[in-house]
Amino acid sequence: MPHDVTMPQLGMAQDAGKIVSWLKAEGDEVAKGDALLEVETDKAVMEVEAQASGYLTGVSAAAGADVPVGQVIARISESADAPDATPASDVPEAPGADGALPDGKEITMPQLGMAQDSAVLIGWHAAPGDAVDADDILFEVETDKSTMEVPAGTSGFLAATLAAPGDDVPVGVAVAIISAKKPDAPVARGVAGATRAPVADIPAETADAAAPKAPPASEPAPASKPGPWPPVAPAPDGKILASPKARRLARERGLDLARLVAAGHPQPYHVADLEALAVLPVDAPAPIPASGMQLTASIATDGLAEFATWAAQAHGLTDANALLAGLAGASLPDRKGATVAISRHGTLRGYDVPSSRALSQVAPSDTAPDLSVRDLRGTALRRASIGVEETPVLTLTSAQDGGLTLTLECGPDQLAPDQAIHLLTQFAARMEQPLHHLL
């Protein structure tokens, strides 16, 4: 099946990117991870990597073209003679295009990963008509990998919400409008034709109480809303299909998603399904899993950029990701070597950090990581709370004052409390003043 290559969103405020050059020609064979093209935004020029292997076909945007975020610009097909990609005119139209909307700045669904083409809107943190600041959390989205909060990005009034909770919204499609003046009639609507996340069944004993009363004859009956799409079949390997946020909340509340499977509730499970899980009769006390740890540190300055320039000029260490991996791996409480994975702009790279902790000896690696670093510097995100993953995770986010916020998330079986404190304290010191690493 062909894989669409879309214009990525490399920053929350970005709505388009300029193609600087194609690094592969149409018909060339490409492997997953190969650099396909260079894209220029108002802040940087970056390479975009292939997210699948095959042949580059259907290139629909030439070098020099300004392309909206989310628009298909090529395909990766199984053969070099595959049909052309979808033309630019077939990009999904923004919701609400058929009705009058308030004037203001459109807020679009961000692209939180290179392979992401849509995200489910979980909920709004502001109501239509509310005043919002640029750094206020506006809404929460869920992809197949994480749940994240998205800031408004601009100050004003929330004049329109163009997607409802549960809507699966394509990347680049407008989900809100923020106006400079308070709107007289704020708009709230959903995305036309959007896939709606399944809603939990109402227990039989509460169905009558939850049923809305019939409206008086003098009032017009409200228009019926479309129901959820048919649930997908359970995974053949017995794996429970659930969103990352539903898994995290279930773990924190001591709820077992397997009980929903046993009760016959359709998958995949979302946060709304936890309410149905909470009222299921309990046959026997279920073991409550230990909750994960989350530690946060703030530093006044990000010293890595200046240190990376010095390391490149003085010692020829030009891979900034390798330097970041070296500082993170050296912060672990033991003196053994470690493998560190660096995730940035949807690209994942692994590095082996030797027991000597010498930055010049950090080398690329395909080994499963002992520690992961999610680098969100340069994005509009100010904090991220995703939950315990397979390895301890350090998340880097920029602060308004030019500093950094460092968040460590891990499980009790991954690091003891004193080890987690040691890791975050040492890493924060190295990020603020990397020269301390050499002492």
- The residue segments making up the domain with residue 238 are 199-206+233-289
Residue 86 and residue 113 in one domain: no
Bigger pLDDT: 252 vs 343 = 343
- Assess if residue 122 is contained within a domain: yes
Residue 347 and residue 428 in one domain: yes
- Assess if residue 220 is contained within a domain: no
| CATH classification at residue 19 | 2.40.50.100
Residue 159 and residue 130 in one domain: yes
- Assess if residue 217 is contained within a domain: no
Q: What is the pLDDT of residue 353?
A: 92
Give how many domains the chain has, as a whole number: 4
Answer whether residue 101 shows pLDDT above 80: yes
The percent of residues above 90 in pLDDT, for the chain, comes to 25
Answer whether residue 209 shows pLDDT above 80: no
Residue-wise pLDDT tens digits, 103-119:
999 898 887 665 667 78
pLDDT band at 230 (very low <50, low <70, confident <90, very high): very low
Report the candidate in 355, 292, 302, 349 with the shortest Cα–Cα distance to residue 329. 355
pLDDT band at 319 (very low <50, low <70, confident <90, very high): very high
Q: What is the pLDDT of residue 277?
A: 86
| CATH classification at residue 360 | 3.30.559.10
Answer whether residue 219 shows pLDDT above 70: no
Span 148-169, mean pLDDT?
A: 89
Place of tokens 């509340």: 253
Domain C-terminal end among 38, 62, 90: 90
Bigger pLDDT: 393 vs 80 = 393
360: left (phi over 0), alpha (psi -120 to 50) or beta: alpha
Span 409-416, mean pLDDT?
A: 90
As a whole number of angstroms, the distance between CA 353 and CA 161 comes to 47
pLDDT band at 438 (very low <50, low <70, confident <90, very high): low
Q: What is the pLDDT of residue 290?
A: 56
As a whole number of angstroms, the distance between CA 6 and CA 115 comes to 9
Answer whether residue 213 shows pLDDT above 70: no
Residue 366 and residue 395 in one domain: yes
Residue 323 and residue 422 in one domain: yes
Single pTM value for the model: 0.37
Domain C-terminal end among 51, 67, 90: 90
pLDDT band at 192 (very low <50, low <70, confident <90, very high): low
Residue 18 and residue 54 in one domain: yes
As a whole number of angstroms, the distance between CA 388 and CA 87 comes to 41
Residue 303 and residue 375 in one domain: yes
Residue-wise pLDDT tens digits, 369-382:
999 999 998 888 88
**DSSP designation for 321:** H
Residue-wise pLDDT tens digits, 330-339:
999 886 889 9
pLDDT band at 198 (very low <50, low <70, confident <90, very high): very low
Residue 315 and residue 389 in one domain: yes
- Assess if residue 228 is contained within a domain: no
- Assess if residue 216 is contained within a domain: no
Span 145-162, mean pLDDT?
A: 87
pLDDT band at 41 (very low <50, low <70, confident <90, very high): confident
Span 346-363, mean pLDDT?
A: 90
CA distance readout (Å), 55 to 23, 32, 84: 13, 11, 12
Give the 3-state secondary structure percentages of the chain, helix then strand then coil, rounded to 5: 20, 30, 55
What single-letter amino acid sits at 432? E
Q: What is the pLDDT of residue 364?
A: 93
Q: Which range among 220-229, 300-309, 356-365 shows the weakest confidence by mean pLDDT?
A: 220-229
- Assess if residue 302 is contained within a domain: yes
pLDDT band at 429 (very low <50, low <70, confident <90, very high): very high
- Assess if residue 215 is contained within a domain: no
As a whole number of angstroms, the distance between CA 261 and CA 250 comes to 14
Residue 416 and residue 368 in one domain: yes
Residue 79 and residue 110 in one domain: no
Residue 268 and residue 250 in one domain: yes
Mean pLDDT of the chain: 79
Q: Which range among 87-96, 102-111, 125-134, 424-433 shows the weakest confidence by mean pLDDT?
A: 87-96
Answer whether residue 167 shows pLDDT above 90: no
Residue 339 and residue 412 in one domain: yes
Answer whether residue 226 shows pLDDT above 60: no
pLDDT band at 47 (very low <50, low <70, confident <90, very high): confident
User: Which residues does 107 contact at the CB level (< 8 Å), separation at least 6?
Assistant: 138, 152, 153, 154, 174, 175, 176, 177, 178
Report the candidate in 188, 158, 161, 185 with the shortest Cα–Cα distance to residue 173. 161
Answer whether residue 33 shows pLDDT above 90: no
Report the candidate in 294, 295, 337, 344 with the shortest Cα–Cα distance to residue 319. 344
Contact, 344 vs 394, CB < 8 A?
Answer: no
Answer whether residue 61 shows pLDDT above 70: yes
Strand intervals (E) in 345-403: 347-353, 363-365, 371-375, 393-398
- Assess if residue 48 is contained within a domain: yes
CA 373 to chain centre: 14
pLDDT band at 343 (very low <50, low <70, confident <90, very high): very high
pLDDT band at 401 (very low <50, low <70, confident <90, very high): confident
Domain C-terminal end among 60, 90, 120: 90
pLDDT band at 396 (very low <50, low <70, confident <90, very high): very high
CA 304 to chain centre: 24
Answer whether residue 217 shows pLDDT above 50: no
